[in-house]
Amino acid sequence: MANLSTTYLDPSIVSRLDNLSLRARLVVEGFIIGLHRSPYHGFSVEFAEHRAYGPGDEIRHVDWKLYAKTDRYYVKQFEEETNLKSYLLLDQSRSMTFASHSVSKLTYAQTLAAALAYLMLKQQDAIGLALFDSQLRQYLAPRAKRSHLEAILGQMSDIQPGPETKIAPILHQLAKSIVKRGLIILISDLLDDPDQVLMGLKHFRHKRHEVIVFHILDPQELEFAFSSRTRFRDLETGEMITTEPWHIQKAYSQQMQQYIEAYRTRCRQQNIDYLQITTDKPLDLALSEYLLKRRRIG
C-alpha cells in the first residue's frame, strides 16, 4: 500500500495521465492511503456525502441502497448543506509552462488544483474556479455538485497559457466580487511585484476570507545549476540574455531567497498560509496544508 500511495503522489508519474479527472482521483486516493503514515497521523478525513437520519429529515431523502447494505438510515447531503465555499485561483500565464524536468509548473499546479477540487467535493464543500494570466480568463462560481466538478476539470484541461502575469488586479477584482466569506486558494509561481500581490491578498483578508498561497517553483529556479554558457529567454516577454551562469549565480540566489522570504514573512503577518513547493515534490505536502487549514476553519 505504501508503494501505491507514493506512486500516486509522485508528480512525474501521475502527470503522464492525460485524463485530469483520473489524475485527481489517484492523487487523492494515494494521499488518503498514506495519511496514517504522515506527520498528521490521527487526522481523519470525513467525507460527508451522507449523514445519519435525524428528526426533521424527510423520509424521501433516505438512501435506501445504503440502508440495504448497512441496516442504518442515512440521508443524502445536498448543496444547501455545504460547509464552506472555496475558490481555486490558478495562474495560467506563460511563465508557468517552464520545466527543467518532466513536469512543468503549470502541469503541477493543474494537478494540485484538480486534486483539491476532488477532495473538496468529497467533503461536500462548494468549489469555485478562476483561471487567470494578465486577465481573468475563466470564472466558475462555487457549487457542490458532482457535475460542477466535471465543469471545473474540463476548464482546467483546456488551459491555453496566456501572456504575462498580472496577479494583483485579478486578486482585487475577485475580492470585490466574492461577497460571502470563504477560502481563497492561490496557486501560482508569483512572478510579479510582491508588494502588489500582497496588497491583493490583503484585500481578501480585509473582507475576512481565509487564504492559502501555494507558491509553485521549478527546482532549477531555486538551484540555478547551470554549468556552462547559457542563453536565457523570458517566457512572457521573449527577452533573451546569454551569460556565464557563475557570473550571476550568487546574486541570483540571494535575490530569489529574498523574494521567497518576502512572501513568507508578509503572508504570516496577514495570517495567510503560505507554502513554497517545487515541482519535484510529492503532492501530499500541499494537500496536507489544505486539510490543516480546513480543520482550523472548522
Question: What is the predicted pLDDT for the residue at 114?
Answer: 95
Query: Residue 117: how many CA atoms within 13 Å on its side-chain side?
Result: 35
Rounded distance, CA 167 to CA 278, Å?
20
Across 162-190, b (16+ Cβ under 10 Å) vs e yields beebbbbebbebbbeebeeebbbbbbbbb
Q: CA–CA distance from 24 to each of 14, 17, 121, 191, 208 (Å)?
A: 9, 10, 12, 26, 29
pLDDT at 88 over 70: yes
Lowest mean pLDDT among 32-36, 45-49, 186-190, 251-255: 45-49
Question: What is the predicted pLDDT for the residue at 206?
Answer: 95
CATH of domain 83-297: 3.40.50.410
Mean pLDDT of the residues in the chain: 83
With bands split at pLDDT 50, 70 and 90, how would you rate the model's confidence at 72? confident
Cell of 69: 447494505
Q: Where in the chain is the domain with CATH 3.40.50.410?
A: 83-297
State pTM to two decimals.
Answer: 0.80
pLDDT at 189 over 80: yes
pLDDT at 224 over 50: yes
Cell of 132: 487567470
pLDDT at 147 over 80: yes
